[in-house]
Each structure stands twice: as C-alpha cells, then as structure tokens.
Amino acid sequence: MQAADKNEEKGKMKNRRVNVRTPEVMPHVQTKVEKHYRSRIVEKFRQSGGKYTIETTTVILAKEFGFCYGVERAIDLAYATRQVFPNKNIYLIGEIIHNPEVNKRLQKMGIMNLAGDNPDATINDLTKDDIVIVPAFGAEITLMDQIDRKGCQIVDTTCGDVMRVWKRVRNYAKKDFTAIIHGKADHEETRATASRATDGLGGQYLVILTIEDCEYVCNYIREGGIKENFLQKFRDAYSPEFDPDKHLNKIGVANQTTMLKGETEEIQKKLYEAIKDRDEELAKDNFQFFDTICGATQERQDALYEMLKLEMDMLLVVGGYNSSNTTHLVEIGEEKVPSFFIRNANCLESFEQIVHFDLEKKIEKTTYSGNFSNSSRPITVGITAGASCPNNLIEETILRIFEIRGHDISELNSA
C-alpha cells in the first residue's frame, strides 16, 4: 500500500500509532514465537517431501499449510507490544487471529480482550495510557473512532491483503459503485471492509455469502422485484441507506479475503452476466471487479486440491472452528475423502472416535466408525491447516496419529 493510501486510512489516528517492531525488540520476540509455535518435526516432513511413513502408517502434509506472513506478523506485533510495554494495560480488539491456542497464549501474557462474549473491558473503560491492538482482520471505522477519542496508543496488525480490499471498496464508493462483498456478514473482516465503503464517502454495500444469494441478486438486477422482500432476505448485510432499486445500477465486486476463490469467481461472472443482460453495451461501465482473494488462502486451497489427487483414507484439517479459510479447506476435502475439522490433537481420541466440527450443523460432535486403530492395516492420513494454525499443533496431530497406531516414533523425534 502506498504512503498516501496509508495516511488516508490512518486519518486522525496516525499520530497515535506506535511502531513496536524495532531492531532492539524483534530478536527477543522471534525467539519466543519460535519456541511457542514452530515445529522441528514439521520441518522434517518438509525436508522429506511432505510425506513420512512408519511401518503401516503414512502421513502426508499439504505443500502449503499453517501460518501465513500476515498471521506471523500479527503475532509478532502482539508479542512485541507486551515486550515494549511490560507494565501497561494492553487490550486486543477481539481475537488476534482465529485460533484458540494462540489467543489463550496472549491472554496468559496479560493481553486483555476488548470485544467478544466476555470482554475484560469496554471502550468506555479505556484511558490515554492504555494500548490497543488491532487484529489481523482489521476493525470497523466507528470502533476505531471511539478508540481514537480515548487517546489510546494503537498497534495495528491489520493484514496488508485486507487493506488492499479496503482500498478497492473505497474506490468503488468514490465512483458511486455499490460494493457487493462476497463474505460472511458477521465476520470481523467483512464488517471492517464494509465500513470503509461508507466512511465519509456516502457509499453503499451489500454482503452476499452463497451462490443462491448471488442468483437472487442477479434476478433482481434483471427483473426487479419487491424491495421489502429483498431487504428482509439480506437484513443486517447491507449499508443503512441501501436501496436495491437504486444501488444495484452500478456495482463493484470485492470479497472477504479468505473465501473460496472458485466461488468468488463464479459470483463475479454471474453478476456481470446479469448487468450485461440489463444494460447491454453499457455493462462494462456499470460493473467492476478485482481479485481480492488472499494469496496465502489461494495457495493453501491449491495445495489441497493437488494433495487430494493422492490416495488417502482420510483428511484432517487442523484449526480454529471460527476460521473462515480453514472452513473452506474442509469443504474442499469433503468432496473427495472423509474429512474431519479438528481443533488439535486432543480431538483424536481414536480413529473410531474423532471429535470434530460439523460444518452443516455448526456443532462439535464425535463420530466415525473406521477400523484404522489396527496397526496391521495400512492407512494414509492427509493433514492440512488454515493460515491461522501454528506448526506445533500440526506436530502434535502427527505424533498422535502414530501413537494411536502403536508405532515407535523415536526416529521421527530424533534430531
């Protein structure tokens, strides 16, 4: 992002932003992060081509998995904040990333929560001596304005890919295009992105999640409809002044950076076809789009598609249940092989009892009736993880698989 764009985003808060990523601080921070989240065994897997076999059990890792650069940066900055301000109150807006293990670690470091179900404080409790960390997803403009008025110092860990989407929806608003955002309306990133469309620009936005949502919007673009029904269907997913009879004339597509790339591309195509059917030769003047899928998200999806070409008995996807990019990896896996969304190795009670998250029912459950605990039967298990999952959790999952199978892991554990 160019300096001018950064200054526009920072606004009045630019003088209160604090840089904690200094040469004096970072070596100590990186040593601590390495200790908490890195894995020698995962590195050993990488050196062996992502595949390791002990007796009758083979474990395969996707080529790309786990922490991306943006997540690593956010964690580094959170650790650095505590290092630089050892005696100050430090508050985090929600979760730094969508991984419970990482967030618990920050809580143990005394970094308190400013949002969520059980916040340690509210914005009203803040003082000018407090430090506020903005998570990797970013935060809504109205929330940032409230924090600004409190005079707090701010450590901003917002991912650069997210800020790139913000720039795109701002440009849509400046040109009087409504931002159609492919994402989850209640997700922190999408709320932050949507707020950039309206902030002082008079822009409009509409959030759509599914292909079905898209087709409904397309039909309205082509044929019109009953406005009240439209607004009811998408309640809580559009800007306060949004009117489908006015604000679907010129549209620009953006997305939550962690969505399925293929689904976003299909939505773009369908919306353009609807605009073209309605406007004919003027379609290109009334439609814009830009590829705003996070590069790391795309790499992890592509790597899983490649791994699924191999023969596997099951796939384990490791990560936080509220992680959007991890959820999409599970969806991809389920198309090809029995797939289980697990938080960590403790979910593997056995191969007959796997505690995992059911995407359809939105609940954690214990299911599966396999016969893989018998070590005489060959088995191949694939593992992948979203961009918010640390390598130490992947290591624990690998070791748990071999433990369940009753194999000697001394060689794998050796240097």
Q: In the numeric block, which tokens belong to residue 205?
A: 């936005």
**Closest listed residue to residue 323, CA positions, set 226, 412, 256:** 256
Dig out the tokens for 368 from the structure: 């599966």
Distance (Å, whole) CA 40 – CA 406 = 22
User: What is the number of other CB atoms lying within 10 angstroms of the CB of residue 150?
Assistant: 15
The span from the CA of 171 to the CA of 288, in Å, is 11
Pairing between strand 90-92 and 57-61? unpaired
Crossing angle of helices 160-174 and 188-198, in 10° steps, is: 30
Give Cα separations from 64 to 190, 352, 391 (angstroms).
Answer: 25, 28, 12
Q: Is 189 a catalytic residue?
A: yes
∠ CA 48-295-162, nearest 5°, is 135
- Beta strand 363-367 with 354-358 is antiparallel
Residue 138 CA: distances (Å) to CA of 38, 290, 370, 402? 25, 20, 42, 39
Catalytic residue among 72, 95, 188, 189: 189
Beta bridge partners of 315: 339, 382
Beta carbons within 8 Å of 136's beta carbon, 6+ residues apart: 70, 71, 73, 74, 96, 97, 157, 158, 159, 162
From residue 357, alpha-carbon distances to 68, 256, 339 in Å are: 23, 22, 10
Please identify every residue annotated as catalytic: 189
